[in-house]
Amino acid sequence: MSTPPEPEGRAASGSRTSGPHPVQGAQPQKPPPGAGTPRGGSFMTDVRALPGRVSLRLRLTVLYGLLFFMAGGLLLFVTYLLVGGILDSVFPPGWWLRTPNGDTIDPRVIKALAMKQLVGRSLVALAGVGIIALVLGYFVADRALGSLQRVTATARRLSESTLHERIALQGPDDEIKELADTFDAMLERLGQAFDSQRRFVANASHELRTPLAINRTLLEVALGDPEVSDDLRTIGRTLLATNARHERLIEGLLLLARSERELTARSAVDLAEVAATVLEHSKRREHDNEVAVHPELASGTTLGDPVLLEHLVSNLVDNAIKHNDDGGEMWIRTGVLDGFTTVQVENTGPVVPAYEVDRLFEPFRRLNSDRVESAKGSGLGLSIVRSVVLAHRGTVYAAPRTGGGLVVTVRLPIG
């Protein structure tokens, strides 16, 4: 028995995980410092790029501050002109002031001192009030952007859960409320479109199951007749196999439509127990490939739908067996990794190019775009896995295995 290469990370004590390749729901990796930025850029290039790195709240605060200082500077300039005009009218040219001791003073000296004191103290007052204005401007900007933050938070939650939540912003009919109402209307249309699509898939699948069941019964009855010729028996078995494939496809479509709906009830589920049950059922079924299974199961609990989670693990196991070599190996691991309940399935098999990994999670996708070979399923297994993971607000990763095969890792919130 060959020993698989040491993957990276640990899913549970005594079990290891491979370095994941993000497929769905994964947080995008931040580029390294300086990535995408030319080295040795000019100072003006950095200055031009600065506004894109500053938050809108801070930009509005700076804008408010600049407007205040510009208005204050203009007011100071006007006051300077007015006070200068007043002093000129009070002390016209040619006038001299006489002190009690008999000395004379040029009024222009008094005017210059008064104007100097006026400008100096006004600038100090403007700076002090300007700082207060900047602080107040920050809070005003924060309050003005509060509604936009609500829209952003709702959009972020919807991207992770369902389309049934609405912003329902209360307040005056201003531009922000108009934006929120428009967003709600768009969500309503999207929700109706998705619900219509799911109902269509579910209804069509239900309608197709009945004739397929009738066909299977008729074929089984016909094949049970001892007088049937060998040619007809061969044709009947071929039709039965085709009918079974269509039934699996319909069941997959039904499960996919169900998994894309909002979860209305959640319960605590231990993925180790789910994996053990799936492996026990898998032993009782016949497979085209003889695969050695290596379970490494540690307790890991999450909140979710037990039936959907069982289908998730079952699809991962079936996929690892179907797309494996005869005499190959499969590892299934459960546990807690980095604060997430984790299940990982690793299998040997044909080499999977890295650029093909993302496409495998699309419906009806198979390796090398194979849509003809029906013996390996309908191409919905990993699509159902991704849909169930998203319904449980988790993430799923896949990575090609060194030497051939695939490593799929599912992380779900701890229940």
More confident residue, 166 or 10: 166
Tens digit of each residue's pLDDT (9 = 90 or more) over 97-108? 666 676 677 777
- pLDDT value at 202 more than 80: no
Residue reference for tokens 């001791």: 101
Residues 407 and 271 in one domain: yes
- Give a yes or no: residue 45 inside a domain: no
Question: For the ranges 46-50, 129-133, 173-177, 293-297, which has the lowest average pLDDT?
Answer: 46-50
Rounded Cα–Cα distance for residues 74 and 67 (Å): 10
- Residue 253 is predicted with a pLDDT of 65
- Residue 300 is predicted with a pLDDT of 93
- Residue 274 is predicted with a pLDDT of 93
* pTM of this prediction exceeds 0.85: no
Rounded Cα–Cα distance for residues 88 and 284 (Å): 108
Rounded Cα–Cα distance for residues 97 and 63 (Å): 48
Q: CA distances (Å), 256 to each of 26, 315, 379, in order?
A: 21, 12, 12
- Residue 317 is predicted with a pLDDT of 93
Mean pLDDT of all residues in 135-161:
76
- Residue 42 is predicted with a pLDDT of 56
Residues 285 and 375 in one domain: yes
Tens digit of each residue's pLDDT (9 = 90 or more) over 314-367? 889 988 998 888 889 999 999 999 899 999 999 999 888 888 888 888 766 555
For residue 307, the domain's CATH number is 3.30.565.10
- Residue 94 is predicted with a pLDDT of 63
Which amino acid is located at 361 in the chain? Answer: F
More confident residue, 377 or 121: 121
Task: Please choose, from the candidates 306, 288, 289, 300, the residue with its C-alpha nearest in 3D space to the C-alpha of residue 391.
Answer: 306
Q: How confident is the model at residue 307 (pLDDT cuts 50, 70, 90)?
A: confident
- pLDDT value at 10 more than 50: no
- Residue 192 is predicted with a pLDDT of 82
Spatial contact of 257 and 205, defined as CB atoms under 8 Å apart? yes
- pLDDT value at 32 more than 70: no
For residue 243, the domain's CATH number is 1.10.287.130
Mean pLDDT of all residues in 173-182:
82
Residues 181 and 308 in one domain: no
- pLDDT value at 369 more than 70: no
- Give a yes or no: residue 135 inside a domain: no
Among the candidates 256, 286, 302, a domain finishes at 256
Number of domains in the chain: 2
Of all residues in the chain, the percent with pLDDT exceeding 90 is 20
- Residue 243 is predicted with a pLDDT of 81
- Residue 9 is predicted with a pLDDT of 41
- Residue 255 is predicted with a pLDDT of 67
- pLDDT value at 302 more than 90: yes
Q: How confident is the model at residue 227 (pLDDT cuts 50, 70, 90)?
A: confident
- pLDDT value at 29 more than 70: no
Residues 180 and 313 in one domain: no
Mean pLDDT of all residues in 64-72:
90
- Give a yes or no: residue 237 inside a domain: yes
Q: How confident is the model at residue 203 (pLDDT cuts 50, 70, 90)?
A: confident
As given in the structure block, the two tokens for residue 106 are 């040029």
- Give a yes or no: residue 13 inside a domain: no
Among the candidates 256, 286, 315, a domain finishes at 256
- Residue 341 is predicted with a pLDDT of 94
- pLDDT value at 2 more than 50: no
- Give a yes or no: residue 331 inside a domain: yes
Mean pLDDT of all residues in 299-315:
89
Rounded Cα–Cα distance for residues 212 and 380 (Å): 19
Domain hosting residue 250, numbered range? 176-256
Spatial contact of 404 and 367, defined as CB atoms under 8 Å apart? no
- Give a yes or no: residue 280 inside a domain: yes
- Residue 368 is predicted with a pLDDT of 54
- Residue 53 is predicted with a pLDDT of 67
Residues 236 and 273 in one domain: no
Q: Is 235 exposed, middle or buried (0-12, 13-18, 19+ CB in 10 A)?
A: middle
Among the candidates 212, 231, 256, a domain finishes at 256
- pLDDT value at 39 more than 50: no
Rounded Cα–Cα distance for residues 187 and 70 (Å): 43
Of all residues in the chain, the percent with pLDDT exceeding 70 is 74
Residues 239 and 272 in one domain: no
Residues 306 and 340 in one domain: yes
Residues 246 and 318 in one domain: no
- Residue 71 is predicted with a pLDDT of 92
Residues 368 and 245 in one domain: no
- Give a yes or no: residue 243 inside a domain: yes
- pLDDT value at 33 more than 70: no
SS3 string, the chain, reads CCCCCCCCCCCECCECCCCCCEEECCCCCCCCCCCCCCCCCCHHHHHHHCHHHCCHHHHHHHHHHHHHHHHHHHHHHHHHHHHHHHHHHHCCCCCCEECCCCCEECHHHHHHHHHHHHHHHHHHHHHHHHHHHHHHHHHHHHHHCHHHHHHHHHHHHHHHCCCCCCCCCCCCCCHHHHHHHHHHHHHHHHHHHHHHHHHHHHHHHHHHHHHHHHHHHHHHHHHCCCCCCHHHHHHHHHHHHHHHHHHHHHHHHHHHHHHCCCCCCCEEEEHHHHHHHHHHHHHHCCCCCCCEEEEEECCCEEEECHHHHHHHHHHHHHHHHHCCCCCCEEEEEEEEECCEEEEEEEECCCCCCHHHCHHHHCCCCCHHHCCCCHHHCCCCHHHHHHHHHHHCCCEEEEEECCCCCEEEEEEEEEC
- Give a yes or no: residue 290 inside a domain: yes
Q: What is the CA radius of gyration of the chain?
A: 36
- Residue 304 is predicted with a pLDDT of 86
Residues 236 and 269 in one domain: no
Residues 283 and 249 in one domain: no
Residues 321 and 404 in one domain: yes
- Residue 347 is predicted with a pLDDT of 94
Rounded Cα–Cα distance for residues 371 and 385 (Å): 19
